[in-house]
Amino acid sequence: MTLPARPELVSRLAEDFAALQDAALARMNGTGSPETEAALGHPALAEPVAIALAHAEVLVRGAVRRAELSGLPTQRLPSLRTYVRRVRRARSQAEAVCKEQHARRMAQRRAPVTAPLDLRVARAAHPQAYLRALEEELAHRGLPYDALSVPNHDRARWARERRLMHPEIPSPIRELLDCEDDSFIQALLHDAREAENPHLAHDAVVERWSRHARTALAWGRYAIAQAERAALARPLTARSAQLDALDDAYHDTAILTARAVEAKHRTADLHDRIRDLTATGVFADLITQCHEGALARFATVHLDLWDRARQLSAEHQAGCPERAAECPRCHLALAEAVAMEVPAADGLDEDDVTREIAEPDTASDRYAILDDLLPHAVVAVADAAVGDESTVCGYGWVSENGITGRGDSMASSSGEAEVVGICNAALALLDAAGTAPSSSCVTAPKPSPSSTGPLKAPTRRWPTAPLCSPRAGSS
């Protein structure tokens, strides 16, 4: 029997990050109480659970890497790696729950069908013609062509400019908005290493936070790679300080990861709210007026198309079982019939617009670039890989004249490490030909000491966002 979620337990888990994470891991291990299991299934905890498991996954990967570098007996490593896979699976399941809930909310928020069926049929039959009519209407009103479109980026700024959201921004928020990207990333690193910045969750900033969270996370991976290299440079019995620094780097990266997930969820919530704001009020009225004007222009220029759309729509609605709901799914089939019967609008050959582009012959074109190489050119290839827990990317390269090389890089991905590998291959081949530049190696970009600070033990803390606040005294 499934127990109902107790509201007070849900509230306590939402406010106590450490307790929430422990509960999520206990559920994963099958040791959670029925009451806690019921609470974790509450919709309000879906996103906090995903954040907590993202944090936990980085920590358990760090535990495996420390075990590998500290010389733990090999027979104990498989169980640790199995645990990492279980946490990763639990995190994926939690993220799937978040996506399902978001899709359900979107379906509930979906606006009812308000446009008449004949208008929807005409628009779908020849969308380019209707788009031209709408652009003419917008130009007549002195509006830009994209005035009715919600942008993909900087939606909060767009909403403020249209007075859909409060335009005033407090000065601390304005500082975060106006600073350079490097300074903003430093604020994200400080948020993870020292003290949480409550201003990041503001509607005006959260999109920028989400955009730059990945870059901040790359700095965390770089710190882990530095600690790994420092540990590997020491004898197995003299790595204690380096392994402690590795633990600290993993803790920082765990918080950066959790905060990046939180930023993603907060941004999605912001976009949902902006979408709701555009469906009502002055902006919604403007959309309606512009489409009414566009329809009048469309019907005047393309009278045959409009008459046929109206006729088919009336005939269809006479016997459609979904007539009371304005036939929400019927317009596409009717539009296809209109498009086949009525010539393309404005003399535009629709076949020219929708002409299928021939796919290239990938089998013959894949190596076509080799046909353009100079006779004396030497071909080299590179590959790279990164382990599940390590952040140091190993790479290797080989050229057709037999020269090879390998190394490792603190790149943030195997793709970047491959670029490092091919650059090293080019320099080595130039060196063999006697034309190499003064630099003898290529490395991944390094941060300056001022940008990351020394690798010292930072003040550790749990993420303390309103979604999931820490327990007092946790470390």
Beta bridge partners of 468: 465
Same domain? 160 vs 269: yes
Got the DSSP string for 276-306? HHHTSHHHHHHHHHHHHHHHHHHHHH-HHHH
Tens of pLDDT along 91-136? 999 999 999 999 888 877 766 666 788 888 888 888 888 899 999 9
Total domains in the fold of the chain: 3
Is the pLDDT at 460 greater than 60? The verdict is: no
Average pLDDT, the chain: 82
Is the pLDDT at 384 greater than 80? The verdict is: yes
Report the alpha-carbon distance of residue 60 to residue 217 in Å, rounded: 17
Same domain? 63 vs 166: no
Is the pLDDT at 292 greater than 50? The verdict is: yes
* 382 DSSP assignment: E
Does 121 reside within a domain? no
- Band of residue 441 on the pLDDT scale cut at 50, 70, 90: very low
- Band of residue 3 on the pLDDT scale cut at 50, 70, 90: low
Same domain? 182 vs 79: no
Same domain? 100 vs 159: no
Among 73, 89, 109, the domain boundary falls at: 109
Position 288: which residue type? T
Residue 380's SS3 state is strand
Tens of pLDDT along 347-363? 444 444 333 334 445 55
Same domain? 64 vs 170: no
Does 249 reside within a domain? yes
* 455 DSSP assignment: S
Tens of pLDDT along 187-245? 999 999 999 999 999 999 999 999 999 999 989 988 998 999 999 999 998 999 999 99
Q: Are 217 and 253 in contact (CB under 8 A)?
A: yes
Q: Which domain holds residue 71?
A: 7-109
Amino acid 147: pLDDT: 85
Does 134 reside within a domain? no
Phi-psi region of 169 (alpha: psi -120 to 50; beta: other; left: phi over 0): beta
Please state, for a pLDDT cut of 70, what percent of the chain lies above it. 82
Is the pLDDT at 465 greater than 50? The verdict is: no
Amino acid 179: pLDDT: 94
Among 278, 293, 316, the domain boundary falls at: 278
Please state, for a pLDDT cut of 90, what percent of the chain lies above it. 41
Is the pLDDT at 421 greater than 60? The verdict is: yes
Tens of pLDDT along 59-76? 999 999 999 998 877 778
Same domain? 79 vs 21: yes
Report the alpha-carbon distance of residue 224 to residue 410 in Å, rounded: 9
Same domain? 175 vs 260: yes
Same domain? 173 vs 273: yes
**Mean pLDDT for the stretch of residues 315-320:** 87
Same domain? 195 vs 267: yes
Does 91 reside within a domain? yes
Same domain? 184 vs 260: yes
- Nearest to residue 89, comparing CAs of 40, 27, 23? 27
Does 460 reside within a domain? no
Does 165 reside within a domain? yes
User: Please, what is the end-to-end C-alpha distance for the chain in angstroms?
Assistant: 37
Other C-beta atoms closer than 10 Å to the C-beta of 5 total 20
Does 297 reside within a domain? no
Same domain? 84 vs 170: no
Q: Are 17 and 45 in contact (CB under 8 A)?
A: no
- Nearest to residue 217, comparing CAs of 238, 189, 237, 239? 189
Does 287 reside within a domain? no
